[in-house]
Amino acid sequence: MRTRFVLNKISTVCFLLTATVCFSAADSGTVRYEVKADRRTGQLIRSAVTVTPKVIAPIEVGLSAAPAPAPVSAENRIDQIVQAASAHYKVDPLLVHAVISVESNYNARAISPAGAQGLMQLMPGTARDLGVRNSFDAEENIRAGVRHLRDLQDKYKDDRLALAAYNAGAGAVNKYGWIPPYRETQDYVYRVGKKYGEARKASAVNRTQTATASPQSEVPKPPEHRPIEVFTDTEGRIHLRTK
C-alpha cells in the first residue's frame, strides 16, 4: 500500500510538473519540454517536443473608401470638350454644336461615304494635317475640327463661306467665289445655319429671362408717405396736415 501511495504521489507531481512546463513552453511558441514518469521504473524522463506555432492571418482594417464621383454622361463630356476647344480657338460653341449635329449627329464612330470620320467628320488628309492620330477620339476630333473651322473663318471672314469650305473644301469655294452650286453643300450650309440661328435665339431668350427675373429673396419696399404735421390754431384746436 505504501509503495502504491508513493507512486501515486510521484504521478501527481509529474502531472503538475508536466502541465506547468507545457503551458510555459506553449507561450514561447517554439519548443516545449515534457516530464513523464516511466511506468516500469518510476524514474522521471524529460523530453523536448517541437511545437509549430499557429499563424493567424492579420485582419486588414481599411479606411472607408470615399464615394466614387458620379459618372459624366457622353453628352456632357462632349459639351465639355466643345466648350474648352471653342474657348481656346475663339469659336462660338453654339456653332460647333451645330456643325457636330449636322455632320455626325453626335456619333463619335460615324464614317461618311466619302471617308470622313468622327464627330466633326474629318477627312483623313485633313486629320493628318492637323496632327490627329485617332479621328474617333472625341477630344482629338473636336479640337482639330474647331481649329480647322477657325482657320476657315479667318480666311473667308464669313461663316457661310467657312461652312461651305468645311463641307466642300476651300478649293471649291475659291473656284466659285461663293457657296459652290453643289446641292449637298448648299443644304449643309442651310442646315448648320438654321441650327446655329435657333441655338443663338434660345440662348438670348434664356439670358433675357435670367436678367429680368426678380430674385426670390427681394422684399418689396413699403410705399412712401408724406410726413404729417400737427399744429394748433388760435382757438386751441389741434389740426393734422401733410407737408
Pairing of strands 44-50, 31-37: antiparallel
Is residue 21's pLDDT more than 70? no
Say what the pLDDT of residue 204 is. 92
Percent of the chain with pLDDT over 70: 58
Say what the pLDDT of residue 60 is. 59
Binning pLDDT at 50, 70 and 90, where does residue 132 land?
very high
Is residue 26's pLDDT more than 60? no
Strands (E), 38-129: 44-50
The correct answer on CATH 3.80.10.10 for the domain covering 74-208 is no
**Is 224 an active-site residue?**
no
Is residue 7's pLDDT more than 50? no
Say what the pLDDT of residue 119 is. 98
Angle subtended by helix axes 138-156 and 159-168, to nearest 10: 130
Say what the pLDDT of residue 209 is. 85
pLDDT in tens, 167-213: 999 999 999 999 999 999 999 999 999 999 999 999 999 888 887 76
Is residue 101's pLDDT more than 90? yes
In whole angstroms, what is the distance from residue 61 CA to residue 212 CA? 56
Percent of the chain with pLDDT over 90: 53
**What residue segments make up the domains of the chain, in order of their start?**
2-50, 74-208
Binning pLDDT at 50, 70 and 90, where does residue 73 land?
confident
Say what the pLDDT of residue 115 is. 96
| Mean pLDDT across 28-56 | 64
Is residue 6's pLDDT more than 50? no
Select which of 60, 103, 218, 229 is catalytic. 103
In whole angstroms, what is the distance from residue 186 CA to residue 160 CA? 10
Long-range CB contacts (within 8 A, 24+) of 216-224: none
Is residue 68's pLDDT more than 60? yes
Say what the pLDDT of residue 92 is. 98
Residue count of the chain, please give it.
Answer: 243
Say what the pLDDT of residue 240 is. 57
Report, in angstroms and rounded to the nearest whole number, the Rg of the chain calculated over CA atoms.
46
